[in-house]
Amino acid sequence: MGNKQTIFTQEQLDAYQDCTFFTRKEILRLFYRYRDLAPQLVPLDYTNKPAVTLPYELIGSMPELKDNPFRQRIAEVFSEHGDGNMTLDDFLDMFSVLSEMAPRDLKAYYAFKIYDFNNDDYICKSDLEKTVNKLTRNELTSEEVSLVCEKVIYEADVDNDGKLSLADFQHMIVRAPDFL
Amino acid sequence: IFFPGFDAEEDLIGSLADMSTKERIKAIQKLPETMRKKREIRNKVLQEITKKSRHRGAQPSCCTQCLQGAAVSFRRFGNSLSEYFHQLRIWQKTLKIIGAEFGTSVLSYFVFLTWLLNFNIFSFLINFSFITIPQFLAAEPNNLSFTGLELLTGDGYFQQTVLYYGFYTNATISKIENGPSYNMQLAYIFTVGMYFVICFLILLFSMAKYFSRNFVNPQAVSVNSSKLLCTWDFNITNEKAVKLKQKNLSTQIKEGLTEVNKEVVNFSAMERVHRVAVHLLAWAASLGTAVAACAGVYFLAINNLKLFMKGHRNDLESRAAMLVLPMIASLLNTLIPFFFSWLGHLERFQSPGQHIYVTIIRIIILKMSIVGILCYYWLNIVATYESQCWETLVGQDIYRLVLVDFIFCLLGSFFGEFLRRIIGTTFCVSLGLPEFDIGRNVLDLIYAQTLTWIGILFSPLLPGIQMIAFFIVFFVKKVSLMRNCQPPRKVWRTTQMMTSFIFLLFCPSFLGVLSVIGVTVWRLKPSEGCGPFRGLSSMYAAVTEWIQILESYTASKWVVWIYHNLISSELFFFILSSIVLIVTYLYWQIIQGRKTMTKLLRKQIIN
């Protein structure tokens, strides 16, 4: 049914359709976007599952990500080894979560991981400070940054341990409908 | 994160294997795991399913294998079909680009515009198929001549076309002798009625959906943390927009910090009285302006009618004079909001959000009162005037209003955005590029849609005209936005915007339209000489007559029973309302109970 393509086997495409929010056409389109980043590295035949990884510099130069202040964290969160270098699987995963079809809880989960700079499963004060600096382009003084982080932790920390766990974060997201 | 113990994974696979295919796919998509892990889980689940089915049944025969293969290919077919439907959703790419360059708040205006466009397309399609096409079969010839002015004034040649109520026949159309016949009266009233019922349900469900998603208890919202962690609009990919958003966020945070440091300004009693007096004065001024505008429109309309009736000339001059009323109305609608905005600046509100809300409420009051006074004029004055066909006159009035409003919308875009950009970049550089004024544009859309809804009864093809108008407005606004405007500086509560748009569309606009249509259908006497309801005492009388005819057939006794006992019986509605009130009260109490529960649980977590 539809165009015959030779990049993936039918089972691979079915698996991708089941595991991401994308349709068949969108998966193929994303594959071509992935390939366009480095045509010499990415083969046109994925049926034998080649192990191809694109370095972070290429991913970060994509027009959708290049102006996003969190692009490095996004790439690190979705990459296999946490270094920002992404295989096609990671690539599809990232766009699937960032697409508008992903539910808010899934996005909240990954947003938490993105804001957790030191990967300790808690957003502590230093993570928040880095977030604020990225969001405001280092325009605030360090006292202001510190004050803001203290206020955020004070408001959102439900179990009073001085840092935000995933549960605190999700609790805040539920009550703040502006989260995109 | 947490290392899933082998048991946890087995439980997951077991529960996934028990679900139906659709639910299973949804659950796998939602798993917060890497793609590799998801694929492993999926394969294990599929193996589990085949294992279970092998345990359950006998050998998978040829038949079941065939069926399974057929099911898989059917699902693939369904997937590709939904892909094509997805592509049919018009302008998806354009909307994405707008969202990327200007953020979600500006995008919500365009999404609202496409939403309204769908209403009009739906109305046009059903009106055209059920009312206009049968009318073509029984059409009378049109003897009037066509001059170009008809496109603007809607009278002349158009008077004897399917555009207006007056042209439709009241006969039962049948082409073949003793063949199936088509009752135009019933078709007219049922088509319009069905459309409004469906609109009502769609609006209600959309409002409920948006309310449930976006209604935040204002006391519980934690302003700072949500501002920091939740308001980054990941949709934006334009570099300028990103920089602007960052600067905006840093300004907001700075303001927030300085507010905390500043003492809460305690106004002295004199100052408080002064502020209240200023607010009251501003409200008096705006309500007075609205009343003056309404009075002006009303007297102009009555004057118009007198001249029209007296003169009855058909030359170009008097027909062009009919355009004065719509132009004055549109002019008032365009200029007075600027006055309100200026008033709001004078009042010095405590926050910019308050200023915006108060201005929007005042503009809504102005627009709805102008529509209201026009409806009063149409239903009380025009309908009782001794003239040939009052419904067609009303239809023509509405046509002119819609058209002139559309022209003013385009002009507003030209002056408000194009010229303002030229002034802002060449003459007076401090002004800068204009911002896209979302509030005013949305209210213009709501006004236009209100007029269209009122006009459906009198001019069945009006939604088609409005549809074309909305198409053109979309493109003009989009081009103007891309060329002339900069991304908005203020951070709106973007998700609440769509909720408030739909609420404004429902509450003053749609409910008002329903009451106008209700009064027309139940109370007013249709004109004697034209239209599908000529000679009846009211438009609704067509339905009562039909019910009386049905009483003589035994096969349709149930329809008559439903009509007498459910639709026109007051006892039924009384019982229905009581049940709805009781259910609402019970839900309210459940919500209160849950709130107390959350408070208790939160205390437990902290301790």
Q: Determine the Cα–Cα distance for residues B45 and B110; give it in Å rounded to an integer.
A: 43
Residue A136 or residue B208, greater confidence: B208
Per the domain annotation, does A55 fall within a domain? yes
Domain boundary at A72, A98, A124, which?
A98
Set of chain A residues whose Cβ sits within 8 Å of the Cβ of B30:
103, 105-106
Of B230, B243, B254, the CB nearest to A173: B230
Per the domain annotation, does A157 fall within a domain? yes
- Tell me what the mean pLDDT of segment B424-445 comes to: 81
Q: Count structural domains, chain B.
A: 1
- Residue B517: pLDDT band by 50, 70, 90 thresholds? very high
Instruction: Decide if pLDDT at B434 tops 60.
Output: yes
Closest CA to A34 of A19, A55, A13, A14: A55
Per the domain annotation, does A1 fall within a domain? no
At residue A123, the 3 state secondary structure works out as: strand
Per the domain annotation, does B312 fall within a domain? yes
Closest CA to A132 of A111, A108, A118, A115: A115
Instruction: Decide if pLDDT at B221 tops 50.
Output: no
Q: Are residues A83 and A133 in the same domain?
A: no
Structure tokens at B593: 């109970």
Q: Determine the Cα–Cα distance for residues A88 and A52; give it in Å rounded to an integer.
A: 8
With vertex at residue B589, the alpha carbon angle to CA B588 and CA B590, rounded to the nearest 5 degrees, is 90
pLDDT in tens, A76-110: 888 888 888 888 888 888 888 888 778 878 888 88
Of A15, A103, A160, the CB nearest to B606: A160
Contact between B408 and B326 (Cβ < 8 Å): no
Q: Are residues A41 and A76 in the same domain?
A: yes
Per the domain annotation, does B284 fall within a domain? yes
Q: Are residues A90 and A20 in the same domain?
A: yes
Tell me the residues of chain B between 59 and 78 that have a Cβ less than 8 Å away from chain A: 73, 76-77
Per the domain annotation, does B470 fall within a domain? yes
Q: Nearest-CA distance from A178 to chain B in Å?
A: 6
pLDDT in tens, B439-481: 888 999 999 999 999 999 888 899 999 999 999 999 999 988 8
Set of chain A residues whose Cβ sits within 8 Å of the Cβ of B34:
80, 89-90, 93
Long-range own/partner contacts, residues B501-506 (CB < 8 A, 24 or more apart): B501/B108, B501/B112, B501/B442, B501/B446, B502/B112, B502/B203, B502/B206, B502/B207, B502/B210, B503/B207, B504/B364, B504/B442, B504/B443, B504/B446, B505/B116, B505/B203, B505/B446, B505/B449, B506/B203, B506/B204, B506/B207
Q: Are residues A18 and A78 in the same domain?
A: yes
Q: Suggest the residue from B75, B209, B229 to mutate for an interface test with chain A (most A CBs closer than 10 A).
A: B229
The stretches of B128-156 forming alpha helices (DSSP H) are 133-137, 150-153
- Tokens 């927009």, residue? B241
Contact between B510 and B200 (Cβ < 8 Å): yes
Domain boundary at A98, A118, A137, which?
A98
Contact A148 B25 (CB under 8 A): no
| Mode of pairing for the β-strands spanning B182-183 and B172-173 | antiparallel
Q: Domain with A82 in it: what CATH number?
A: 1.10.238.10
- Tokens 């510099």, residue? A57
Give the burial string for B22-44 (b: 16+ CB within 10 Å, else e): eebbeebbeebebbeebbebbeb
* CB of B207 less than 8 A from some CB of A: no
Residue of B nearest to A63 (CA): B237
Per the domain annotation, does A180 fall within a domain? no
Per the domain annotation, does B357 fall within a domain? yes
Q: Count structural domains, chain A.
A: 2
- Tell me what the mean pLDDT of segment B216-234 comes to: 55
Task: Show the domain range for A41.
Answer: 10-98
Q: Are residues A64 and A121 in the same domain?
A: no
The strand pairing partners of B393, in sequence order, are none
Per the domain annotation, does A32 fall within a domain? yes
* CB of B54 less than 8 A from some CB of A: no
- What pLDDT shows up at residue A110? 86
Q: Are residues A29 and A60 in the same domain?
A: yes
Q: Are residues A119 and A90 in the same domain?
A: no
DSSP A37-82: H-TTTS-S--TT-----B-HHHHHTSTTTTT-TTHHHHHHHHSSSS
Q: Determine the Cα–Cα distance for residues B472 and B382; give it in Å rounded to an integer.
A: 32
Q: Are residues A123 and A63 in the same domain?
A: no
Per the domain annotation, does A113 fall within a domain? yes
Structure tokens at B181: 């016949």
pTM of structure: 0.80
Contact B232 A159 (CB under 8 A): no
Task: Show the domain range for B124.
Answer: 105-153+187-262+276-489+497-535
Residue B103, number of CB atoms within 10 A of its CB: 24
Tell me the residues of chain B between 32 and 51 that have a Cβ less than 8 Å away from chain A: 32, 34-36, 38-39, 42-43
- What pLDDT shows up at residue B578? 95
Q: Determine the Cα–Cα distance for residues B152 and B189; give it in Å rounded to an integer.
A: 28
Eight-class DSSP state of B416: I
Instruction: Decide if pLDDT at B213 tops 80.
Output: no
* CB of B598 less than 8 A from some CB of A: no
Instruction: Decide if pLDDT at B217 tops 50.
Output: no
Q: Determine the Cα–Cα distance for residues A82 and B451; give it in Å rounded to an integer.
A: 57
Per the domain annotation, does A91 fall within a domain? yes
pLDDT in tens, B282-318: 999 999 999 999 999 999 988 888 877 776 656 677 7
As to burial, measured by CB atoms within 10 angstroms (0-12 exposed, 13-18 middle, 19+ buried), residue B441 is buried
- Tell me what the mean pLDDT of segment B140-162 comes to: 74
- Residue B218: pLDDT band by 50, 70, 90 thresholds? very low
Contact between B417 and B434 (Cβ < 8 Å): yes
At residue B277, the 3 state secondary structure works out as: helix
Of A14, A110, A155, the CB nearest to B225: A155
Per the domain annotation, does B245 fall within a domain? yes
pLDDT in tens, B479-511: 888 888 877 766 556 667 778 888 889 988 999
Q: Are residues A74 and A145 in the same domain?
A: no
DSSP B191-207: HHHHHHHHHHHHHHHHH
Contact between A129 and A145 (Cβ < 8 Å): yes
With vertex at residue B600, the alpha carbon angle to CA B599 and CA B606, rounded to the nearest 5 degrees, is 90
Eight-class DSSP state of B141: P
Residue of B nearest to A134 (CA): B246
Domain boundary at A71, A98, A125, which?
A98
* CB of B82 less than 8 A from some CB of A: yes
Structure tokens at B231: 């308001």
- Residue B220: pLDDT band by 50, 70, 90 thresholds? very low
As to burial, measured by CB atoms within 10 angstroms (0-12 exposed, 13-18 middle, 19+ buried), residue B161 is middle
Per the domain annotation, does B41 fall within a domain? no
